[in-house]
Chains A and B, each alone.
Chain A
Amino acid sequence: MSVPEEHRGSLWNVLTNVGVAIGGAIGLNALLRTLRGQPEATPLLKPPLAGPAEHTPREEIVEAVVAERQHSYLDDGYTVRSWLLSTDHKRIAILYMLTITLFFFIGGIAATIIRLQLVTPQGGLVQTATYNRMFTIHGIIMVWFFLIPAVPAVLGNFLLPLMIGARDLAFPKINLLSWYLFVFGGLFTTAAVIGGGVDTGWTMYAPYSSLYSNSQVLAAAAGIFITGFSTIATGVNFIVTTHTMRAPGLTWFRLPLFVWTIYATALIMVLATPVLAITLLLIFAERVLGIGVFNPAQGGDPLLFQHLFWFYSHPAVYIMILPGMGIVSEIIPCFARKKLFSYTTVAIATFGIAGIGFLVWGHHMFVAGESMYASLLFSILSFLVAIPSAIKVFNWTATLYKGSIRFQTPMLYALGFIGLFTVGGLTGLMLASLAVDVSLHDTYFVIAHFHFIMVGGMVMAYLGGIHYWWPKISGRMYPELWGKLAALTIFIGFVLTFLPQFVLGHLGMPRRYFHYPPEFQALNILSTAGASILGVGYILPLFYLLWSLRHGEKAPANPWNATGLEWQTASPPPKHNFDATPIVTEGPYNYQPEESERDNRSSEESERDVSATPGR
């Protein structure tokens, strides 16, 4: 199990280490150390990655010294313990990345089974009860254990301190605690939804979930409850960090938009999650003690559950999409080599979305017995969310105009995001119309709308962000050709999967149904075919990103020639991010299209070799 010298400190090491740890073999720690003959406290003595020894120009010696002094965060201990007890935000981000990837594939397997089941009108692959459990697994795991933590807990954790020039988050220990809560809650819920199964759907509507469902609702909800604390801890940490830890000169309107969106997301996490927590507590009490807060037979009102649930869950979809918008706002200016069009409006629109997002939850209950006056109010408010969202889309598009666009992998994802998010957003407006919703409610139209925002928007943005910051995170470049191929595969697979579902929903196919009339079969087969392409698209990055950890080119500090403090430090960054606290003197996204026009021409000969320019 010995690791070649050159791969020490690469993410490859991380994977072997954490992989072992997740297997529950923490006791292997000492063994690993012995096998490697590497005591825990010696990474500083690691020989620097110096060039050929014969002719060493002065710069190279200096570089070697620098490399030794600011050894990367990946070199800060190689043991399982040094990862599992690390309070370094970058290491915790990696831990999150591994965990949510695992959850993503669990949720993905459930989705695969759903799609396979729906190939024929009569189903036949799984039992009806199993089918209910499958869509519940898919919903619960994807929403709480992938979508919500994906961008904030992985990229937000990694990048927030780097982007604001801080050494770490304000509360590093709480950050680590929040990962443990997440894993603990996640294991709890996974055990419940896979072991016993839950058949309520991810929404867990009472009183079905509290009184009638004969499945593991209690355990699944307990896991979600615990994970809620992890979300809250992360949110508090991000808010405090953004307020108190910014580098000198980094005023609010000089912050990268990713920081703005992470801040707005953290606000939603802090303000919405507790309401879910109390709702789940009430569900516990109903199930265990037989009280009837949501049970009509006992004088309760089921709509109260829905109000409380959607007060959390509607803003929660903004927890999922807002950081994705932040990523796109970073990628678009960088690959269009142009200043972001109207930075200020995008920043304010972020808060507009976060704020208005809290006022619209009643649109989930138009046909559930909500008062029609309240429905009217919620419908109008829902239309208002479109305004800040549209502002963002227009600003991204305007940024592209006359830019010097390069279609690298992150840019492909970002462009995909803009298109798919627009479709998802506009169909959301259809659903927010009172009359239209009566016929579309609980059909595949809703499913398609939601997945256009979440998969077409958020997952696209997440993958774009992973590719964009992969050199920073791992210190290696990913293979560009494979990256582009995977991005295109995902786009094609996605559209093929979910576009037919709009039609299905419009024709009246209800969601969560096991059987369907034969005339829907063609569209369902199309959708399943798309899902299989999508599946291939998701597995591709898993392989080539892992491959790049060993064989990818070494990444320079600023491979994209991008602005932003995170590109000023080494790739991967040293443990405390910066050697000296950076001082910020200008706003973000100072890209010059004319300059990059030149860069582009010169780099056409050697693709991807824009690395020579040091960070600004």
Chain B
Amino acid sequence: MNGKVLITGPTSGIGRAVAHRLAAAGHNLILAGRDREETERIVTDLRVRYDATISSKHYEALAFESHREFLDSCCAGGELNGLVMCHGYMVEQTLTENDFRAAATTIDVNYKSYVSLLNDAARYFKQRRNGFICVVSSVAGDRGRQSNYTYGSAKAALTTYTQGLRNRLAPYGVSVITVKPGFVDTGMTWGLLKPQSLLVASPERVAVDIVRAIERRKDVIYTPWFWRWVMMVIRLIPEGVFKKLKL
């Protein structure tokens, strides 16, 4: 495939796994992370392992006004063929209930920063009339549950935004993929999930699904696959019953 792929959140569990998968498939990558040293370690890791051209850029999700310049600099040395957005922020739900700053950061990182960068990216890809935008949302956005609804509401907004974006860019040959992972064993969820549970998938497993969805120009995927059916059942429960459940 021609052009480079830009990945945000490359130090996250899913971001790193997707970067490995894409680099192994021969894509050239730009890794956009906040922590320069850690991002650079992932760059060297990919360079040693795969015969791919990898570079890094500093990306500050919450510095919204810097995003346009950031994207311009990513396109400077050759065209971008795709964008994969994996950065995220999750803390215990109770913290977001008791400390508004935690709630605000949850919304800012998981929703506002996506809108900010995606607005600029949409303009770029629309003009280019080719390429893909892959956004990692979450099953948590499919229905608000008491255990995780602040994070879930930001992801629900993101899911709705990407729906509209897909609709807008479809005539221009740009695919927009919404990824809804279930429980994934990453640094973000460590200590919040039971890693041995059968419901918890490895980030490597999820990355296989994500790259396949990009290649097949899918619209919405659940990963692992069974979450589509799990969430269908969860969405079908009447609200009167659902509000009494402990989920």
Co-complex (A, B):
no
Q: Which residues of B contact A (CB under 8 A)?
A: none
Chain A interface (Cβ < 8 Å from any Cβ of B): none
